[in-house]
A and B are shown apart, each in its own frame.
Chain A
Amino acid sequence: ADYLDNGNNKMAIQQADKLLKKHKDLHCAKVLKAIGLQRTGKQDEAYALAQEVAALEPTDDNSLQALTILYREMHRPELVTKLYEAAVKKVPNSEEYHSHLFMAYARVGEYKKMQQAGMALYKIVPKNPYYFWSVMSLIMQSISAQDEHLSKTMFLPLAERMVEKMVKEDKIEAEAEVELYYMILERLEKYKEALDVVRGKLGEKLTSELQSRENKCMAMYKKLCRWPECNALSRRLLLKNSDDWQFYITYFDSVFQLIDESWTPPPEEEHSLEGEVHYSIEQAVKFIEERITEESQSSRPLRGPYLAKLELIRRLRHRGCNDEYKLGDPEELMFQYFKKFGDKPCCFTDLKVFVDLLPSSQYTKFIGELLGVIPLAAGAGNGAALPADIRALQQHLCVVQLSRLLGLYHAMEKQQKLTVVRELMVRYRHGLEFGKSCLKTELQFSDYYCLLAVHLLLDLWLEGEDTAVWQCLTLLEEGLSHSPSNAQFKLLLIRIYCRLGAFEPVAELYSSLDAKHIQHDTIGYLLTRYAEALGHYAAASQSCNFALRFFHSNQKDTSEYIIQAYKYGAFEKIPEFIAFRNRLNSSLHFAQVRTERMLLDLLLEANISTSLEESVKSMSLSPEEDDIPWKDLRDNRDLTVLFNWDPKDKDISEEHRKLSLEEETLWLRIRSLTLRLVSGLPSLSHPLQPRNSEKAAENGVSSRIDTVRALLQQLEAALEAGKKFLEQKIQYPVLGPPPTRMAGFFSSGSCQCQTSLFYLVSDIYELDTNGLEDSAEIQERIGNSFKSLVERLTDLFNKCKGDLIEVRDGTLKTHPNLLENLVFFVETISIALWVSSYCDSVLRPFKSNLQKKKKKKKESSVTMPPVFTHFLDYVTELQTLTSNVIDHIKGLEIILTALKLEELSLKDTLLLQEEKKFTKTVQGKVQSSYHHSVQEIGELLKKRLDTIKKLKI
């Protein structure tokens, strides 16, 4: 066993063999050997050996544990349940085996059996946890039940009765048991009863969590619409901590509810279960004012009371009340807030929430007032007034962020914007003074100046100013050199490089972000959208792999912790963990990387290093199978990972998210159908079998073509939907969700080529089953398809022509769409070649038959049917076209290498010497990335060209 632990599997197998020679039936040794076999890749042998032992239904601990480990490594957790089912039958009183059995069921989610196993355990050893495992299993049955009625009328009431029984017998011991009781009542919507539990004797056990009882009461009051209690409780909690925002929200909600209900307190009685209730605006105003007074005497400044006042004003205004004057002018209040908290980095986000209380006519004046109170020292000469310390810098930064939020910069002319950019950069560089002692892992205090300057430049770029984008990159690279841990700099660089079509620098930036586990799901889209699209195939493979590794490990990891949650009685976490696992399993990004990874593998390998058939087989791909949970797809992307200070109307909206998800789903459907269609190709040809339609049907081939034809129809429908979507011409905000490749797929013409190719497959199949006789019409159709395909592919090539990087008026301009079109070309030609090799497999036997006939008859009257000539011509044309594209790519490479960026006159006099250096680096990176793209694309295309030569029948 030690050998196994050390990873020396071969020695472990040898030792186990030795032992087995001496003791023929030592189960445990067999299992250890099986583990060794499993780990050395001999899964089948390992499985056989394990089953041999399992069939004997072992009851010794060592064998059972070793088998459990083995099955887990085999990803066959369901076998563990069988194992312990047998063990408890033989040793019915073993607490240990019963509990293993329970956990084995938990791992595979067999809730009903868990319930029984829990009770069986409790009968052997009457410990509370076992009983409650059983109760929890009932809740899980109710959660997983499709039928909500059944869940509410059967599982939950049963669970409730089980707990009630324990309550009556006064057997409740642990906090977890009370939590579970509460959970059941809540799910049964018995809020009143739940409230009684929490407020009663049992509730006293709820001590671990912060304000556990209060929070639960509050939740129930809300469900029961008991506003007086909501109000009184939140009021009380605010008296204790006047900075906890959630209670202000409940306080205000309840006050206004009570006002709407014209609630009045009962005479001569307590206002409510929770004490005094506020039910008028006057009381609320007074309460908030008191919190502020109280705050002014506290040692630590609290933001809550001040913000609560603004919140109250907003709510009054929302209701059309005229009472807000009682609280003061929001502009003045915000000004005061700034004076108090302006030096805190959170001041901006705090005020952001309330800026819509300001009339737009006051924006400039408001900003001016704020600036007026910041202690800035007038700069030397013509320079801007600069802050003397970090606090002043922070205050100034807050004002700049607010100016951006209020749209003051957006409204400026180009020259004004450039002036602001200059000023912000002066402030940025000046601010670095304060951060000289910062560690490499810390941010510079003035980083946001730089980021804001870049945002202004991005505006200019989108307005058509080509130079601005290079300045963006320049400033960001400069910023990053001073603040190498700044994730925002990196993220923005990634977005901009990608938009320019340069993926090479992105890989490094992304890896320095050190994105981990779940971030492969939430921000992985930044990589996967562009890597393959820009021809960085190796990087694309790698980024898909990162993500897939994470998603695959999730399944295993979560099961482990679900079991732990049972052990520790963290019942409320169990449904949460399961929901978490489901959320990851139905992730949009997961489905995308799964699909794209397989398409990519086919693109890089199928018919190059292995046959298409083998590739499809090794991926266990089948055209019939659709593994994407279309209805439940979850968009886990974090689309707000990049900061922005845009006004609401320019910011990423819920609508953008919805549209982006729609677009991604449409595109995923197209890609997944393409993959399935390609995976259907090898199954259509049976080179060794006699061509006979009846036989073919027996072999299931005709159902295969039906599948392919059905998929083709679905593809047509998906394309139609995609086209409709694109007609809306949606523009996402520049920092919002990146658009998919769908638009390029259509505009390049690659879409039409690919569909025609799949139609061709259908025609060739028809020829195959029909035979050559009386097939003139089919042959003609195929011939025409060949011709039009060559035309379409040539058109697609034409869409790839042009310079990738050009120098215009002293600036660089990149054409990433040409690069994306090239990538589409390579993919489309690959599909064309797969289809051609199917065609070849159909025509070749026909030809050899004909030649045999020819020899027999020894006459020249047997003419070759036209389809052979058509096919030969077609393949020759494909070859020529591909060679031409390769030549074109060689040309691009030469141009890219010859492009001397140093000679680019950086005319922009605004650029400092320092900046020029960064600009050169940036442009060099883009140039090198394009070079890299073109090389990878060229190499793949050369490999594809080689495969054409095999097609000449």
Chain B
Amino acid sequence: MTTLRAFTCDDLFRFNNIGDRLLLNSAPQYGIPFYLQYLAHWPEYFIVAEAPGGELMGYSEGATVLMLCVFTVMGKAEGSVAREEWHGHVTALSVAPEFRRLGLAAKLMELLEEISEKKGGFFVDLFVRVSNQVAVNMYKQLGYSVYRTVLEYYSASSGEPDEDAYDMRKALSRDTGKKSIIPLPHPVRPEDIE
């Protein structure tokens, strides 16, 4: 039971109410400019799934709707078509703890893939912390595989390099030979990724 809809600026005021952290911080480097940049450029990729709690939407006069579940897939289509690099990218995906284990992440990933298919992308990719086994496994279940390791992709708030990332990919129907997902033999540095 969720409602899928486009993310709006007003949502920024509402998504504090998340158990393990303040949701908007799930990606520490993201400030207001980050959100606005995405909304200006790829509004269609910025999706929220919300569950009505407290007052149901149908009855409330708007203001009392409690947002209890939030998650966003932010992706962007990037790369050039000629080199078969045109692809969808998952920038962030977060699900409030209360709404985990419902298959919502899978659902949102499906949507992202659907949009990327429509846009004629060759693949969808995402970065994930090497240590985040839960996420890596989840993405594997959804058909993603590790394409390469990006060394010291994540940095701590001090700016020091913190952790490596897996670049995981899933080929879309346009990539008939599934060339885009053939794993690279060697890890790359963050400055080498386009």
Contacts and interface: CB of A to CB of B under 8 A. Distances in A.
A207 interface: yes
Nearest to A314: B56
A554 B115 CA distance: 31
Given A210-B115, A570-B39, A636 B13 contact: yes
Contact of A557 (B2, B32, B39, B53): B32
Interface in B15-31: 16-22, 24-25, 28, 31
A577 B53 contact: no
Contact of B13 (A302, A307, A522, A557): A522
Contact of A516 (B6, B31, B55): B31
A244 B2 contact: yes
B42 to A, nearest CB: 8
B103 interface: yes
B140 interface: no
B64 interface: yes
B103 to A, nearest CB: 5
Contacts of B70: none
A487 B22 contact: yes
A302 B1 CA distance: 7
B1 A245 contact: yes
Interface string A26-55: 000000000000000000000000000000
Given A345-B97, A346-B102, A654-B64, A521 B13 contact: yes
B54 interface: yes
A561 B37 contact: yes
B8 A576 contact: yes
B3 A443 contact: no
Contacts of B51: 245, 346, 349-350
Interface in B102-161: 102-103, 111, 115, 118-119
A303 interface: yes
Interface string B85-103: 0000000000001111111
Given A487-B19, A570-B40, A349 B53 contact: yes
B100 to A, nearest CB: 7
B12 A518 contact: yes
A611 interface: no
Nearest to A565: B40
Contact of A572 (B43, B64, B101): B43
Contacts of B118: 207-208
B52 A245 contact: yes
B69 A346 contact: yes
A780 interface: no
Interface residues of A, number: 68
Interface in B56-86: 56-58, 63-64, 66, 68-69
A795 interface: no
Contacts of B37: 561, 564
Nearest to B99: A346
Interface stretch (A246-254, A694-702, A747-755, A822-830): A246-254
A580 interface: yes
Contacts of A514: 21-22, 25, 28
Interface in A223-256: 243-246, 249, 252-253
Interface in A522-565: 522-523, 553-554, 557-558, 560-562, 564-565
A640 interface: yes
A300 interface: yes
Contacts of B13: 518, 521-522, 583, 636, 638
B44 interface: yes
B115 to A, nearest CB: 7
Nearest to A354: B56
A321 interface: no
Given A246-B5, A486-B19, A516-B31, A558 B36 contact: yes
A565 B119 CA distance: 19
B184 interface: no
Contact of A518 (B2, B8, B32): B32
Contact of A573 (B24, B39, B57, B68): B39
B26 to A, nearest CB: 10
A246 B65 CA distance: 13
Interface in A289-338: 300, 302-304, 307, 311
B20 A442 contact: yes
Interface SS of A by simple majority: helix
Contacts of B69: 346, 349
B33 interface: yes
Contact of A517 (B31, B44, B99, B103): B31
A862 interface: no
A633 B183 CA distance: 55
Interface string A345-373: 11001101100000000000000000000
Contacts of B41: 564, 568, 570
B4 interface: yes
Given A346-B69, A518-B13, A640-B66, A244 B4 contact: yes
A519 B3 contact: no
A756 interface: no
A441 interface: yes
B47 interface: yes
B39 A443 contact: no
Contact of B19 (A304, A352, A443, A564): A443
B193 interface: no
A515 B22 contact: yes
A447 B12 CA distance: 26
B102 A344 contact: yes
A302 B107 CA distance: 12
A224 B119 CA distance: 33
Contacts of A654: 63-64
B43 A570 contact: yes
Nearest to B57: A249
A864 interface: no
Contacts of B55: 353
Interface in A594-650: 636, 638, 640-641, 643
Contacts of B3: 244-246
Contact of B58 (A212, A252, A345, A583): A252
Nearest to B28: A514
A560 B33 contact: yes
A573 B43 contact: yes
A463 interface: no
B192 interface: no
B14 interface: yes
A610 to B, nearest CB: 34
Nearest to A445: B97
A513 interface: yes
A485 interface: yes
Interface in A701-734: none
Contacts of A246: 3, 5, 57
Nearest to A444: B20
B191 interface: no
A517 B22 CA distance: 12
Contacts of A558: 32, 36
Contacts of B32: 517-518, 553-554, 557-558
Contacts of A523: 16, 22
B146 to A, nearest CB: 21
A516 B47 CA distance: 21
B8 to A, nearest CB: 6
A640 B17 contact: yes
Interface of A: 207-210, 212, 243-246, 249, 252-253, 300, 302-304, 307, 311, 344-346, 349-350, 352-353, 441-443, 447, 485-488, 513-519, 521-523, 553-554, 557-558, 560-562, 564-565, 567-568, 570, 572-573, 576-577, 579-580, 583, 636, 638, 640-641, 643, 654
For the complex of A and B, 4 pairs with smallest distance between CB atoms: A561-B36, A580-B9, A208-B44, A564-B40
Given A583-B9, A654-B64, 10 more contacts: A209-B43, A210-B4, A210-B6, A246-B57, A516-B25, A522-B16, A565-B40, A568-B40, A580-B9, A580-B12
7 contacts: A253-B58, A487-B21, A564-B40, A573-B39, A573-B43, A577-B36, A640-B17
